[in-house]
Amino acid sequence: MSKAFTKENDDADDEEQAGGLPPLPAGTRNYLTPQGYRRLRDELLGLIDVERPRVVEVVSWAAKNGDRSENGDYLYGKKRLREIDRRIRFLTKRLDIAEVVDPSAHHGSDQVYFGATVTYAAADGSERTITIKGVDEADNLAGDVSWVSPIARALIKSREGDEVTLMTPGGLTKLDVLEVRYPAPGEEPLSP
């Protein structure tokens, strides 16, 4: 089939798929902790300075070996270059709209803002501790949730001792905010 009749992904879909992350809400900044910003920047610089030049070298070498249609190194290298370039575009766009928020600015506060480590109790008595971070930093298994997640949105601006309502697929759930913590200035972030 001619390439003229194949559907290409649009750039926005491509970029979001490259990160494997949900899109940011329209018109918002990409809030990140200082550690999250450093991690994304280090990944971008590693791709640009190390990974991409290494793959370009392999592709160049493979191209000199003759028939490119059956050359695995060439075909895989070109595919890997497209993946790297897609990830570089994604990271560049995310870092361009990044707004670094230092959670330690709220050290000592009992109100929930971006970067807070919050311990809450559900109606069934179970307790859970989460840290509210950026979309690009979220890792639910580690207790790091995105600021756009339903739980974070329910907790934002609440205080220790408050009861908040969370809409879940099973219906409304009441949560009691037990503790709100922030790292001290110059300290590494708190772990849940």
Task: Kindly state whether residues 80 and 119 are assigned to the same domain.
Answer: no
Q: Which of 75, 100, 125 is the last residue of a domain?
A: 100
Q: How far is CA 113 from the centre of its chain?
A: 18
CA separation, residue 120 to residues 11, 49, 96, 117, 176 (Å): 40, 43, 34, 10, 5
Same structural domain, 113 and 96: no
Q: What does the block give as tokens for 101?
A: 């928020």
> In terms of Cα–Cα distance, which of 169, 61, 96 is closest to 151?
169
Least confident of 60-64, 124-128, 142-146: 60-64
CA distances from 60 to 34, 46, 48, 69, 103 (A): 38, 20, 17, 14, 46
* pLDDT of res. 189: 58
Task: State the total domains in the chain.
Answer: 2
Residues 76 and 89 in one domain: yes
CB atoms within 10 A of CB 26: 5
Same domain, 66 and 55: yes
Neighbours of 134 (CB within 10 A): 27
- Whether residue 44 is contained in a domain is answered as yes
What CATH number has the domain bearing residue 79?
1.10.287.180
Domain of residue 92, residue span? 10-16+29-100
Q: How confident is the model at residue 125 (pLDDT cuts 50, 70, 90)?
A: confident
Give domain status of residue 2, yes or no: no
75 and 109: one domain? no
Token code pair at residue 174? 């009441």
pLDDT tens digits for range 96-120: 999 999 998 888 889 999 999 999 9
Q: How confident is the model at residue 7 (pLDDT cuts 50, 70, 90)?
A: very low
Mean pLDDT, range 69-88, rounded to an integer: 90
